Amino acid sequence: MFIATSLDGFIARDDGAIDWLPAVGKNGEDYGYARFMATVDAMVIGRRTYELARGFEPWPYGSTPVVVLSRSPVAVPQGLSGTVEAMSCSPAEVLERLSGRGLRHAYVDGGRTIQGFLEAGLVDELVITRIPILIGTGIPLFGPLARDIRLRHVQTRSFADGLVQSRYEVPREG
């Protein structure tokens, strides 16, 4: 996962708005996003994240295959029908299907989707960029967990505009 949060831990406002996120930093800094996306074979996102991304011009994920997790039908515009598909299955089943297509590195995005993949033990790496803003309330990155999830700190970088990005690995148990 590669995600930004407010300093108080929210990924979006209560209504899903992300107006508080900086688009690009000083001197065109993208905080490593393009480099990260170059390693991604597919994306797995929740329905709310998909609905938000559909409003961006151009489509932010280019030709990267995108799986939208949803229990209800998902409207996919004709221009995206070659790259976007909906699935209603467990995180393990999603990864099994993607693996069957030869895809190995999935980028998981969206609050509930990330929480589900973490709970299932299917996240290897977390890149979290903290934006120096407090929004007070919103959609939290993390929610209740059935068990502790230990992380191994790999790196922390700070940027001239005050953003702080940390990378963690999720060690395999056993």
| Average pLDDT for 27-56 | 92
pTM, entire model: 0.91
- The domain segmentation of the chain, as residue ranges, is 41-169
In this predicted model, what pLDDT tens digit does every residue of 105-155 receive, in sequence order?
999 999 999 999 999 999 999 999 999 999 999 999 998 888 999 999 999
pLDDT score recorded for residue 24: 64
At 52, is the secondary structure helix, strand, or coil?
Answer: helix
For the domain with range 41-169, which CATH number is right: 3.30.460.80, 2.40.50.100, 3.40.50.510, 3.40.430.10?
3.40.430.10
Per residue in 51-86, pLDDT tens?
A: 999 988 889 999 999 999 999 999 999 989 999 999
Cβ neighbours, 10 Å, residue 71: 8
Q: Which amino acid is residue 155, in one-letter code? A: Q
Q: What is the pLDDT of residues 23-32, one digit of tens each?
A: 666 677 889 9
How many residues appear in the chain?
Answer: 174
d(CA 148, CA 145) in angstroms, rounded, equals 7
Q: Report the DSSP pairing between strands 106-109 and 42-46.
A: parallel
How is the beta sheet containing 84-87 ordered, strand by strand? 84-87, 66-69, 42-46, 106-109
Confidence (pLDDT) at 65: 96
